Amino acid sequence: MTVVKSTLPEEALGVTGTALQDTLVDLLGLSLVGKQAHWNIVGPRFRSIHLQLDEVVATARAHSDTVAERAAALGVSPDGRPETIAATFALPGTKDGWLRDTEVVELMVSSLEAAIGRLRERIEATEKADPVTQDLLIAITADLEKQRWMFEAENHPRDTSAG
């Protein structure tokens, strides 16, 4: 049953729908990874990273809503069910139990980096298929790159050679 008729040709809709669904899974999964780390972080930088994780979660959740609504507007039913996320999520996730602050930073850098890499592939794929979706994916990439930079700066080694 199709409730919303797409304005895109069938082939373009297939490419775009896949890009949006895969992005939705990445963003919802990323928000869960961020919350799991948020609840389990320990270490001397607990508070600052704890709060920074909330920023990632808020960013991922806001973008996931926009992505899902874009899919729906194009006639593609978005699938954010827990079982779908569990079955198809492919980014690095947390281990069980408490997480050292340095581990959380490394995890977030690698998870964000993987999400960004996947987004860049989708940006390329949607260039001709749907420039509007491509623009949305570019904006998401910019926000995730900012978050990745902030986490990567957290674990930058101190320069001990300077006086």
pLDDT at 158: 57
Using the predicted structure, report yes or no on whether residue 129 has a pLDDT greater than 70: yes
Using the predicted structure, report yes or no on whether residue 40 has a pLDDT greater than 80: yes
pLDDT digits (tens, 9 = 90+) for 4-20: 888 899 999 999 999 99
Better-predicted residue by pLDDT, 154 or 119: 119
Six-digit token pair at 55?
């920023």
Average pLDDT over residues 22-44: 98
pLDDT at 1: 58
pLDDT at 155: 80
pLDDT digits (tens, 9 = 90+) for 50-76: 999 999 999 999 999 999 999 999 999
Q: Give Cα separations from 124 to 24, 76, 92, 157 (angstroms).
A: 17, 20, 23, 34
Average pLDDT over residues 34-55: 97
Q: How confident is the model at residue 160 (pLDDT cuts 50, 70, 90)?
A: low
Q: Are 34 and 57 in contact (CB under 8 A)?
A: yes
Q: How far apart are CA 114 and CA 120, in angstroms?
A: 10
Q: How far apart are CA 45 and CA 120, in angstroms?
A: 31
